[in-house]
Structure 1
Amino acid sequence: MDLAVRVEDALAELPEDGWREVMETIAAILARPESWPRAGRWDVHFSAASWVAFIAYADGIEVYDLGWAG
């Protein structure tokens, strides 16, 4: 199972404002690697009406779940 495809599908199903909020949340996570958990660990970041769950790696993150409640 390729989880990245599922995340892309979830993004494609969001309305424009939901897509924008989720992408801004991902961008905020990427901009602060010092806030990531240790490599191999997971975390969830929340914004006003969305969440992004990710696994941290030494060189980046992998988003494995997201949602928007707007």
Structure 2
Amino acid sequence: MPKIPKLLTKSDMATRWGLARNAIKNREDRHDDFPPVIQRVDNGRTPLYLESDVIKYEQKHGLARND
């Protein structure tokens, strides 16, 4: 069986970085290098992001993990 990569939501990122969800949306709107959406669930309402992309982004921007 293939291994499924770990996926994160914006809420996961907010918890991970100790930020409010609206701060995550602001980062998405303002940073061209914000992790790309790789899938949407919940009838298209919830974007999912690869954890590996999130790790690259947080390292580049010096975001501390709180999880």
TM-score, L = length of structure 1: 0.31
- Report which structure shows greater RCO (CA 8 Å, sep ≥6): 2
Considering fraction of residues, name the structure with more strand. 1
Tell me the TM-score normalised to structure 2 length.
0.32
